[in-house]
Every structure is written in structure tokens, then in C-alpha cells.
Amino acid sequence: MKRNRFAKPVAYAAEFVLICSLLQPVRANAQSDATLQSQNAASANYQRTPDSLSPDDFVGLSYTAQQKAEIDKILQDTEMRKGAVTKDEKLTQDQKDAMLSGYTRLAYGAVFRVLSPEQQAQVRKKILARRAADHAPQKRVPPAN
């Protein structure tokens, strides 16, 4: 009897650890401009916020062969997860859209972590420039009559 009381919590703990390990973003490294552009086309419903990464932030970077391989792995994993979400009939369309958007953000974050510190600095500059451009129209005040 005591074994049964002990077995259930252990099984739940093991399941929790397994789920947590599967949900962690895959640490990946590199990708070419062409692959990023295909990712951009695949995520047409991606809604950019001023603080989030965008596929345009990675354009113009030169990647090493190792970075390209790691980025390709990240994108393949992301596409596999997105494919599973789109085929899941239990989810509503809003839930699917939210999960697809989340996977896209996770992929961009993983790609950013693959970049060298210099490349990350370039991406940050692009993000800051984009934020400034997004907020510039809001700062303009029509002249008072």
C-alpha cells in the first residue's frame, strides 16, 4: 500500500521533469539570410511588437558555417513544432495562432543567442533604430491654430 502512495508522486515528478525539458527552447546557432527569409515567409502572421525580434533584424549579417548549421537546426525544429500545432484538431484557431507566434519568438531568440557578441550588437542597433522609427510618428504633434 505504501508503495502505491510513493509511486504516484514519483511518476508525476518524472513527467513534470520530462515536460519541462521538452519545452525548453532548443539552443541552436546559425542560419543564412536565405533561410531567414524563408522563415519570414513561413510566419506571415507574426505580429511584431517594438520589443520583439524581427526577421529583418538579422538581414545583412555574415554567418559562420557553424552558426548556419545551428540556425538551420533551430528552424527545422521550429517548423516541426509548428507543423504539429497546425495539425492539432483539439486547439482553436486563436490557440494555434498564439502557439505559432510563440514558437516564432522562441526561434528568433535562439537565433539571437547563436550570434557572436558583435553580431548581437548589430541586431540591437537595428532594434533601437526600428523602435525610434516606430515612435517617431507618435511624437509629432499637429500645430495649434
pLDDT at 99 over 80: yes
Q: Output b/e per residue, 34-69; b: 16+ Cβ within 10 A.
A: ebbeebbebbeebeeeeeebbbebbeebebeeebbb
User: Do residues 30 and 66 make contact, with C-beta atoms less than 8 angstroms apart?
Assistant: yes
Question: Which triple of cell numbers denotes residue 9?
Answer: 508522486
State the pTM of this model.
0.56
Reported as a single tens digit per residue, the pLDDT across 7-28 is 666 666 666 655 655 555 443 3
